Structure 1
Amino acid sequence: MHHLRRALCQIAEGDCADDGLPDLIRELAGEIREELAELDLRIASSNRRIRALFRSNEACQRIGQIEGIGPITATALVAAVGDRTCFRNGRQFAAWLGLVPKQRSSGGKSRLFGISKRGNLYLRTLMIHGARAVLGKAHGKTDPRSQWIGRMRERRHPNVVAVALANKNARIVWSILSCGENYRPA
Structure 2
Amino acid sequence: MIKNTIIAIDLAKHSFQVCKFNSDGKIDYNKAMSRKALIALLGNHVSALVAMEACGGSNYWARLARRHGHQVKIIQPRAVKGLQLKQKTDKNDAYAIGIAAQLPHINSCGIMEEDEQGLQALERVRMLQLEQRTALANQIRGLLTEFGIVIAKGLNHLVTALPDILEDAENGLPMNYRQALAAQSQMLQLYTTQIESYDRLIAEHTRHNPVCQKLSKLEGVGPLIALGLTVRLGNATEFNTGRDASACIGLTPKQHSTGGKERLGHISKNCADKRLRSLLYQGAMSVVNKAVSREPKTVKEQWLKALVDRRGKKVAAIALANKTVRTAVALIKNNDDYNPILLAA
* TM score, norm. by length of structure 1: 0.94
Instruction: Tell me which residue corresponds to 1:5.
Output: 159
Secondary structure of the structure 1 residue equivalent to 2:272: coil
Instruction: Tell me which residue corresponds to 1:52.
Output: 204
Instruction: Tell me which residue corresponds to 2:315.
Output: 160
Instruction: Tell me which residue corresponds to 1:177.
Output: 332
Instruction: Tell me which residue corresponds to 1:119.
Output: 272
Q: Which one-letter code corresponds to 2:283 in the other structure? A: G
Secondary structure of the structure 1 residue equivalent to 2:262: strand
Instruction: Tell me which residue corresponds to 1:132.
Output: 285
1:68 to 2:220 alignment: yes
Instruction: Tell me which residue corresponds to 2:182.
Output: 30
Larger Rg: 2
Aligned alpha-carbon RMSD (Å): 1.3
Structure 2: where are the runs of 5+ without partners? 1-154
Q: Which one-letter code corresponds to 1:36 in the other structure? A: L
Q: Which one-letter code corresponds to 1:171 in the other structure? A: R
Secondary structure of the structure 2 residue equivalent to 1:182: coil
Structure 1: where are the runs of 5+ without partners? none
1:151 to 2:306 alignment: yes
The CA deviation at 1:119 is: 2.0
Residues 22-31 or 86-95, more deviating: 22-31
1:91 to 2:246 alignment: no
Larger % of helix: which? Answer: 1
The CA deviation at 1:155 is: 1.1
Greater RCO, CA 8 A, separation 6+ = 1
The CA deviation at 1:36 is: 1.1
Secondary structure of the structure 2 residue equivalent to 1:102: strand
Q: Which one-letter code corresponds to 1:172 in the other structure? A: T
* TM score, norm. by length of structure 2: 0.52
State the alpha-carbon separation in 2 of the partners of residues 26 and 181 from structure 1: 58
Instruction: Tell me which residue corresponds to 1:101.
Output: 253
The CA deviation at 1:166 is: 0.6
Report sequence identity in percent: 36
Q: Residue by residue, what CA displacement relative to the aligned partner does 1:19-77 show, whole Å, maximum 9, x if unpaired? A: 22211221112111111111111011101100011110000000000011111110111
The CA deviation at 1:18 is: 2.1
State the alpha-carbon separation in 1 of the partners of residues 238 and 173 from structure 2: 60
Instruction: Tell me which residue corresponds to 1:17.
Output: 169
Q: Is the 8 A contact 2:252 2:322 kept in 1?
A: yes
State the alpha-carbon separation in 1 of the partners of residues 160 and 203 from structure 2: 29
State the alpha-carbon separation in 2 of the partners of residues 3 and 148 from structure 1: 39
Runs of at least 4 residues off by over 6 Å: none
| Length, aligned pairs only | 184
Label 1:141 to 1:54 Cα distance change in 2 as closer, same or farther (>3 A).
farther
State the alpha-carbon separation in 2 of the partners of residues 54 and 141 from structure 1: 31
Residues 17-26 or 59-68, more deviating: 17-26
